[in-house]
């Protein structure tokens, strides 16, 4: 069916809406806009769709994407229907986006949003469940067209928008594969040479080994979770000289330990050997197992302290615990200083 499609410029129509007069090009501005239609107000599937779109409005807003609804009912009908939409959503999400009114269906036809199989009581074709993602250049970047019997999946709409934004960010030199989700690997466009790809992606890329050996399926490498954790651990934190992490600075002060920012400069063996918490830490409760091992009974990781010298027989309370702990701290500090 001929009509508006990907790559075409949307007509600069001016229509009444729930937010007053709107000219489409002015509304789109310099960003992305989703123009979506629905068959009629006060209908079941449309009500669920509009409520879902209201629920996802903040997600689209985070991405700089505007929303613009349109249907063949008048403005007053849209406003009354909005009350039902918000009530259906439990009042959690307001319909903050405008809804265009097109009783004559002229704009619907120009936007290629007509469903020839769905007609009103007068036999006039109703709008389809169409959706256009319009870019800053006012051209259609993506289109969905659903029949009246099938409601849209907002997660898929959001995923498609993320894909468009990802491709645009890299100048169209990357694309997203099947079932792609944000944060996953993208593929490099065929027109990008390996040399250019290496400059674009310093972390490298992987080429799928296929029977044709043409090397056209190249996946970008992403920063893995383990890499993110390694980077996060490099950030300065409140700790004792051995890498023992405290929940806040106050704990370190009470224990008499200074706020160290360069604890990673200490010898490796001290850093790794004392990664667990001391069982005799004065501020934390501890318990003994039948075998006499000491474990922290707190929100910290329950591991045996490798430096614990307190035995069940010699342990006589928190006073001894503090003394033993202080002695170990001093000994390890001296050892670290000497090794450095």
Interhelix angle 44-62/75-88, rounded to 10 degrees, is: 80
pLDDT at 236: 42
Q: Which CATH class is domain 14-153?
A: alpha beta
pLDDT of residue 298 exceeding 70, the answer is no
Please state, in angstroms and rounded to a whole number, the distance separating the CA atoms of residues 64 and 162: 11
End-to-end CA distance of the chain: give it in Å, rounded: 77
pLDDT score of 135: 97
Q: Which whole number is the average pLDDT over 70-82?
A: 96
Per-residue confidence (pLDDT) for residue 263, from 0 to 100: 38
Q: How far apart are CA 132 and CA 149, in angstroms?
A: 19
pLDDT tens digit sequence for 222-240: 655 555 555 455 544 443 3
List the catalytic residue out of 46, 279, 305, 308.
46
Average pLDDT over residues 74-82: 97
Closest CA to 98 of 72, 144, 66, 142: 66
Tokens 């074709």 correspond to 125
Assess whether pLDDT exceeds 70 at residue 165: yes
**Residue 57 confidence (pLDDT):** 96
pLDDT(53) > 80: yes
Outline where DSSP puts E strands in the chain. Answer: 14-15, 22-23, 32-37, 65-71, 99-101, 114-119, 125-127, 129-134, 140-146, 174-175, 187-188, 205-207, 218-220, 286-288, 294-296
pLDDT tens per residue across span 255-264: 444 333 343 4
Residue with tokens 């300065």: 236
Q: pLDDT tens, 114-136?
A: 988 888 878 888 889 999 999 99
CATH superfamily placement of domain 170-220: Antioxidant, Horf6; Chain A, domain2 (3.30.1020.10)
Strands (E), 268-331: 286-288, 294-296
Q: pLDDT tens digits, residue range 300-321?
A: 333 444 444 443 333 334 344 4
Q: What is the mean pLDDT of residues 327-337?
A: 46
pLDDT(65) > 90: yes
Mean pLDDT of all residues belonging to the chain: 76
pLDDT at 14: 97
Q: Is 46 a catalytic residue?
A: yes
- Domain map (residue ranges) of the chain: 14-153, 170-220, 236-339
pLDDT of residue 229: 57
């Amino acid at each position: 069916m001929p009509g508006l499609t990907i790559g075409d410029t949307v007509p600069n129509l001016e229509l009444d809406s729930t937010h007053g007069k709107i000219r489409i090009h002015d509304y789109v501005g310099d960003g992305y806009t989703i123009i979506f239609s629905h068959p009629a107000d006060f209908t079941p599937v449309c009500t669920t769709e509009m409520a879902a779109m209201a629920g996802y409005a903040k997600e689209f807003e985070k991405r700089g994407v505007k929303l613009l609804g349109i249907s063949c009912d008048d403005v007053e009908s849209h406003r009354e229907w909005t009350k039902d939409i918000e009530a259906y959503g439990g009042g959690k999400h307001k319909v903050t986006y405008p809804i265009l009114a097109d009783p004559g269906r002229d704009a619907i036809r120009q936007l290629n949003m007509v469903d020839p199989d769905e007609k009103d009581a007068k036999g006039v074709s109703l709008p389809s469940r169409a959706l256009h993602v319009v870019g800053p250049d006012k051209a259609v970047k993506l289109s969905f067209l659903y029949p009246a019997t099938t409601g849209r999946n907002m997660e898929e709409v959001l995923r498609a928008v993320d894909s468009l934004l990802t491709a645009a960010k890299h100048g169209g030199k990357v694309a997203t594969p099947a079932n792609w989700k944000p944060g996953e690997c993208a593929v490099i466009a065929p027109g990008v040479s390996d040399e250019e790809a290496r400059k674009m992606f310093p972390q490298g890329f992987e080429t799928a080994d296929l029977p044709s050996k043409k090397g056209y399926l190249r996946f970008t490498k992403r920063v893995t979770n383990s890499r993110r954790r390694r980077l996060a651990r490099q950030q300065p934190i409140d700790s004792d000289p051995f890498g023992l992490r405290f929940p806040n600075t106050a704990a370190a002060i009470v224990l008499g330990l200074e706020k160290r920012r360069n604890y990673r400069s200490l010898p490796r063996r001290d850093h790794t050997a004392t990664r667990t918490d001391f069982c005799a830490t004065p501020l934390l409760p501890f318990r003994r197992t039948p075998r006499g091992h000491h474990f922290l009974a707190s929100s910290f990781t329950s591991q045996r302290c490798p430096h614990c010298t307190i035995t069940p027989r010699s342990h006589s309370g928190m006073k001894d615990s503090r003394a033993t702990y202080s002695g170990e701290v001093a000994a390890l500090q001296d050892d670290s200083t000497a090794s450095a």
